[in-house]
Amino acid sequence: SRTWPPNGRHGRRGRSQPCGRRRTAKHREPENIHIAQANIFQLPFREETFDVIFSIGVLHHTPNPKAAFDNLPKLLRAEGKIPIWLYNGYDAFRWRFSDLYRRFTPRLPKRMLHSLAYAAIPLYYVYKIPGVGLFLRWILPVSNHPKPRWRVLDTFDWYSPQYQWKHSYEEVFPWFEAHGLKDIRVLSVPVSVQGTKR
């Protein structure tokens, strides 16, 4: 999850979590951003600390996404916003083969899996072949990102985590309602939802 604003306007400082120390050492922190790594189930922040908390692709990789989300709204100030994005569960047929492969891939040595993820680079072009490309994309799903490096990253991110949950709007809206969040709305990419603390 990441929290904002990074520019420190309004006298507030932003935080980004999780992010490893190695990256922090490599890229010096600007004065108004503090990078922290923490367990989402035991966050080290005071209540009503942030104006915005957003989570892109994090909650669905936790043992219990709803319980992880439940730790976030209390950290919002009044009028604070919380947008999240989760893998969508509406197309189970689409995930059929990747779910099968994921029974094994999280247990592979990470270096081996990372090497296998490089298959996404040439497959991007194979998948553009009419007819056969669509079939291959279904039985061997990898990232279709236009940038090769991102294809490798996204493919590795898909197959490596121990947990990978998929969700629906019908499931996620009550998470927001349970915390009294208002102005709950759907964002552009499924399943993305935003709420505001009143």
In the Cβ-directed half-sphere of 20, how many Cα atoms lie within 13 Å? Answer: 3
Q: How many domains does the chain have?
A: 2
When pLDDT is cut at 50, 70 and 90, the band that residue 91 belongs to is confident
Query: Residue 107's domain spans which residues?
Result: 96-159
Q: Are 31 and 77 within one domain? A: yes
Q: Are 7 and 59 within one domain? A: yes
Contact 160, 60 (CB under 8 A): no
Q: Are 9 and 69 within one domain? A: yes
Q: Are 150 and 182 within one domain? A: no
182 forms bridges with which residues in the sheet?
196
Q: Are 81 and 139 within one domain? A: no
Map tokens 């009294």 to a residue.
180
Alpha helical stretches, state H, the chain: 21-26, 65-70, 96-101, 110-117, 120-126, 132-139, 148-159, 169-178
Instruction: Give 183 or 22, the one with higher predicted confidence.
Output: 183
Q: Are 84 and 10 within one domain? A: yes
Longest dimension (CA), the chain: 55
pLDDT at 126 over 50: yes
Q: Are 6 and 83 within one domain? A: yes
Q: Are 142 and 182 within one domain? A: no
Q: Which of 3-12, 172-181, 188-197 has the lowest mean pLDDT?
A: 3-12
Q: Are 84 and 175 within one domain? A: yes
Output the pLDDT for position 2.
36
Q: Are 102 and 180 within one domain? A: no
Q: Are 148 and 72 within one domain? A: no
Q: Are 82 and 172 within one domain? A: yes
Q: What is the pLDDT of residues 15-71, one digit of tens each?
A: 445 444 555 555 666 777 788 899 999 999 999 999 999 999 999 999 999 999 999
CATH number of residue 18's parent domain = 3.40.50.150
Query: What value does the mean pLDDT take over residues 87-113?
Result: 94
